[in-house]
Amino acid sequence: MTFPAKTPQPPYYAVIFPSQRNDGEDGAYSQMADRMVELATEQPGFLGIDSARGDDGFGITVSYWQSLEAISAWRQNGEHLEAQRLGRADWYRAFSLHIARVERSYDGP
Amino acid sequence: MTFPAKTPQPPYYAVIFPSQRNDGEDGAYSQMADRMVELATEQPGFLGIDSARGDDGFGITVSYWQSLEAISAWRQNGEHLEAQRLGRADWYRAFSLHIARVERSYDGP
Protein backbone atom coordinates (compact mmCIF):
# COMPACT_ATOMS: atom_id res chain seq x y z
CA MET A 1 0.00 0.00 0.00
CA THR A 2 1.32 3.47 -0.85
CA PHE A 3 0.71 6.65 1.11
CA PRO A 4 -0.90 9.02 0.56
CA ALA A 5 -3.58 6.82 -1.03
CA LYS A 6 -4.00 7.18 -4.79
CA THR A 7 -7.63 8.10 -5.39
CA PRO A 8 -9.56 8.40 -8.67
CA GLN A 9 -11.07 11.58 -10.07
CA PRO A 10 -13.82 12.96 -7.81
CA PRO A 11 -16.56 12.54 -6.89
CA TYR A 12 -15.93 9.80 -4.32
CA TYR A 13 -16.52 9.56 -0.58
CA ALA A 14 -14.29 9.84 2.48
CA VAL A 15 -14.81 8.53 6.01
CA ILE A 16 -12.78 10.75 8.35
CA PHE A 17 -12.13 9.11 11.71
CA PRO A 18 -10.12 11.13 14.27
CA SER A 19 -9.66 9.28 17.56
CA GLN A 20 -7.94 9.57 20.91
CA ARG A 21 -6.68 6.23 22.26
CA ASN A 22 -7.07 5.29 25.87
CA ASP A 23 -3.87 4.55 27.72
CA GLY A 24 -3.16 0.87 27.96
CA GLU A 25 -2.14 -2.19 26.11
CA ASP A 26 -1.33 -1.71 22.44
CA GLY A 27 -0.80 -5.22 21.08
CA ALA A 28 -4.41 -6.30 20.69
CA TYR A 29 -5.34 -2.86 19.40
CA SER A 30 -2.61 -2.84 16.74
CA GLN A 31 -3.56 -6.32 15.63
CA MET A 32 -7.22 -5.36 15.25
CA ALA A 33 -6.34 -2.07 13.52
CA ASP A 34 -4.17 -3.93 10.99
CA ARG A 35 -6.92 -6.49 10.46
CA MET A 36 -9.49 -3.74 9.84
CA VAL A 37 -7.28 -2.19 7.15
CA GLU A 38 -6.83 -5.61 5.54
CA LEU A 39 -10.58 -6.28 5.69
CA ALA A 40 -11.51 -2.81 4.38
CA THR A 41 -9.33 -3.29 1.29
CA GLU A 42 -11.39 -6.40 0.43
CA GLN A 43 -14.75 -4.57 0.48
CA PRO A 44 -16.60 -3.62 -2.72
CA GLY A 45 -16.14 0.07 -3.48
CA PHE A 46 -13.00 0.50 -1.36
CA LEU A 47 -10.62 3.04 -2.96
CA GLY A 48 -7.83 3.55 -0.43
CA ILE A 49 -6.88 4.45 3.14
CA ASP A 50 -4.58 6.89 4.93
CA SER A 51 -3.78 6.56 8.63
CA ALA A 52 -1.49 8.29 11.13
CA ARG A 53 -1.18 8.29 14.93
CA GLY A 54 1.17 10.35 17.08
CA ASP A 55 2.90 9.47 20.34
CA ASP A 56 0.13 11.28 22.25
CA GLY A 57 -2.34 8.62 21.11
CA PHE A 58 -4.28 10.95 18.84
CA GLY A 59 -4.76 9.54 15.35
CA ILE A 60 -6.70 10.05 12.15
CA THR A 61 -7.77 7.41 9.65
CA VAL A 62 -9.35 8.43 6.35
CA SER A 63 -10.78 5.75 4.09
CA TYR A 64 -11.99 6.48 0.56
CA TRP A 65 -15.02 4.83 -1.07
CA GLN A 66 -16.91 4.80 -4.36
CA SER A 67 -20.35 5.39 -2.83
CA LEU A 68 -22.36 5.89 0.35
CA GLU A 69 -23.73 2.40 -0.20
CA ALA A 70 -20.22 0.95 -0.03
CA ILE A 71 -19.64 2.83 3.25
CA SER A 72 -22.92 1.54 4.72
CA ALA A 73 -22.04 -2.03 3.82
CA TRP A 74 -18.59 -1.69 5.41
CA ARG A 75 -20.05 -0.21 8.60
CA GLN A 76 -22.38 -3.24 8.83
CA ASN A 77 -19.64 -5.85 8.26
CA GLY A 78 -19.77 -8.33 11.16
CA GLU A 79 -16.08 -8.32 12.02
CA HIS A 80 -16.03 -4.53 11.72
CA LEU A 81 -19.07 -4.22 14.04
CA GLU A 82 -17.17 -6.18 16.69
CA ALA A 83 -14.17 -3.86 16.27
CA GLN A 84 -16.47 -0.84 16.61
CA ARG A 85 -17.88 -2.32 19.83
CA LEU A 86 -14.37 -2.84 21.26
CA GLY A 87 -13.40 0.66 20.15
CA ARG A 88 -16.28 2.22 22.09
CA ALA A 89 -15.80 -0.02 25.15
CA ASP A 90 -12.02 -0.16 25.50
CA TRP A 91 -9.83 1.59 22.99
CA TYR A 92 -11.00 5.13 22.37
CA ARG A 93 -11.42 7.90 24.89
CA ALA A 94 -13.06 10.02 22.19
CA PHE A 95 -13.63 9.87 18.45
CA SER A 96 -15.52 11.54 15.64
CA LEU A 97 -16.75 10.23 12.34
CA HIS A 98 -17.35 12.50 9.36
CA ILE A 99 -18.79 11.08 6.14
CA ALA A 100 -18.02 13.38 3.24
CA ARG A 101 -18.31 13.64 -0.52
CA VAL A 102 -14.98 14.61 -2.09
CA GLU A 103 -15.50 17.31 -4.70
CA ARG A 104 -11.89 18.12 -5.63
CA SER A 105 -8.55 16.42 -5.18
CA TYR A 106 -4.88 17.21 -5.88
CA ASP A 107 -1.51 15.54 -5.42
CA GLY A 108 1.89 17.02 -4.78
CA PRO A 109 4.59 18.14 -4.77
CA MET B 1 -8.20 23.42 21.38
CA THR B 2 -9.85 20.03 22.00
CA PHE B 3 -9.42 16.93 19.87
CA PRO B 4 -11.25 15.55 18.04
CA ALA B 5 -12.56 18.91 16.83
CA LYS B 6 -16.14 19.74 17.76
CA THR B 7 -17.98 20.44 14.53
CA PRO B 8 -21.53 21.74 13.97
CA GLN B 9 -24.37 19.85 12.32
CA PRO B 10 -23.60 19.04 8.67
CA PRO B 11 -23.35 20.21 5.98
CA TYR B 12 -19.88 21.73 6.29
CA TYR B 13 -16.62 21.19 4.44
CA ALA B 14 -13.41 19.31 5.20
CA VAL B 15 -9.92 19.74 3.74
CA ILE B 16 -8.13 16.40 4.10
CA PHE B 17 -4.35 16.73 3.84
CA PRO B 18 -2.31 13.51 4.15
CA SER B 19 1.43 14.13 3.79
CA GLN B 20 4.76 12.33 3.99
CA ARG B 21 7.55 14.48 5.46
CA ASN B 22 11.01 14.50 4.00
CA ASP B 23 13.77 13.47 6.36
CA GLY B 24 15.54 16.40 7.87
CA GLU B 25 15.30 19.28 10.23
CA ASP B 26 12.08 19.46 12.24
CA GLY B 27 12.32 22.75 14.15
CA ALA B 28 11.42 25.18 11.36
CA TYR B 29 8.75 22.81 10.12
CA SER B 30 7.10 22.46 13.54
CA GLN B 31 7.17 26.19 14.03
CA MET B 32 5.49 26.81 10.67
CA ALA B 33 2.96 24.02 11.23
CA ASP B 34 1.99 25.52 14.60
CA ARG B 35 1.74 28.97 13.03
CA MET B 36 -0.53 27.65 10.25
CA VAL B 37 -2.91 26.15 12.84
CA GLU B 38 -2.94 29.44 14.74
CA LEU B 39 -3.55 31.41 11.53
CA ALA B 40 -6.25 29.03 10.28
CA THR B 41 -8.25 29.43 13.49
CA GLU B 42 -8.40 33.19 12.81
CA GLN B 43 -9.92 32.81 9.34
CA PRO B 44 -13.60 33.51 8.63
CA GLY B 45 -15.53 30.26 8.34
CA PHE B 46 -12.99 28.13 10.23
CA LEU B 47 -14.73 25.42 12.28
CA GLY B 48 -11.93 23.26 13.68
CA ILE B 49 -8.84 21.17 12.94
CA ASP B 50 -7.55 17.66 13.68
CA SER B 51 -3.92 16.69 13.08
CA ALA B 52 -1.74 13.64 13.74
CA ARG B 53 1.72 12.51 12.58
CA GLY B 54 3.49 9.24 13.33
CA ASP B 55 7.18 8.52 13.86
CA ASP B 56 7.46 7.43 10.22
CA GLY B 57 6.78 11.03 9.14
CA PHE B 58 3.38 10.27 7.68
CA GLY B 59 0.68 12.63 8.91
CA ILE B 60 -2.88 13.75 8.26
CA THR B 61 -4.39 17.15 8.94
CA VAL B 62 -8.13 17.69 8.49
CA SER B 63 -9.51 21.21 8.78
CA TYR B 64 -13.25 21.94 8.84
CA TRP B 65 -14.88 24.97 7.19
CA GLN B 66 -18.29 26.56 6.75
CA SER B 67 -18.07 26.90 2.97
CA LEU B 68 -15.96 26.38 -0.14
CA GLU B 69 -15.50 30.16 -0.25
CA ALA B 70 -13.87 30.08 3.20
CA ILE B 71 -11.52 27.33 2.00
CA SER B 72 -10.59 29.31 -1.13
CA ALA B 73 -9.84 32.41 0.92
CA TRP B 74 -7.63 30.40 3.30
CA ARG B 75 -5.73 28.80 0.42
CA GLN B 76 -5.00 32.30 -0.95
CA ASN B 77 -3.81 33.75 2.39
CA GLY B 78 -0.34 35.23 1.83
CA GLU B 79 1.39 33.61 4.78
CA HIS B 80 -0.27 30.30 3.94
CA LEU B 81 0.85 30.55 0.30
CA GLU B 82 4.44 30.89 1.50
CA ALA B 83 4.01 27.82 3.72
CA GLN B 84 2.56 25.91 0.74
CA ARG B 85 5.60 26.89 -1.34
CA LEU B 86 8.01 25.67 1.36
CA GLY B 87 5.97 22.49 1.75
CA ARG B 88 6.33 21.67 -1.95
CA ALA B 89 9.99 22.66 -2.10
CA ASP B 90 11.38 21.30 1.16
CA TRP B 91 9.09 19.58 3.61
CA TYR B 92 6.91 17.03 1.88
CA ARG B 93 7.99 14.06 -0.16
CA ALA B 94 4.37 13.51 -1.16
CA PHE B 95 0.97 14.82 -0.23
CA SER B 96 -2.67 14.81 -1.30
CA LEU B 97 -5.44 17.30 -0.81
CA HIS B 98 -9.10 16.28 -0.80
CA ILE B 99 -11.80 18.92 -0.51
CA ALA B 100 -15.04 17.34 0.66
CA ARG B 101 -18.56 18.23 1.76
CA VAL B 102 -19.43 16.52 5.05
CA GLU B 103 -22.90 15.00 4.85
CA ARG B 104 -23.07 13.17 8.20
CA SER B 105 -21.14 13.32 11.45
CA TYR B 106 -21.08 11.41 14.76
CA ASP B 107 -19.15 11.52 18.03
CA GLY B 108 -18.22 8.76 20.42
CA PRO B 109 -17.93 6.75 22.51
Give the integer Cα–Cα distance in Å for A16 and B105.
Answer: 9
CA distance A105 to chain B (A): 4
Q: Which pTM value belongs to this model?
A: 0.96
Q: Does B3 touch chain A (CB under 8 A)?
A: yes
Q: Does B85 touch chain A (CB under 8 A)?
A: no
Chain A partners within 8 Å of B55 (Cβ): 55
pLDDT tens by residue, A17-32: 999 999 877 789 999 9
pLDDT tens by residue, B66-108: 999 999 999 999 999 999 999 999 999 999 999 999 999 999 8
Give the integer Cα–Cα distance in Å for B13 and B62.
Answer: 10
3-state secondary structure of B1: coil
ipTM of the complex: 0.95
Domains of chain B: 12-102 (3.30.70.100)
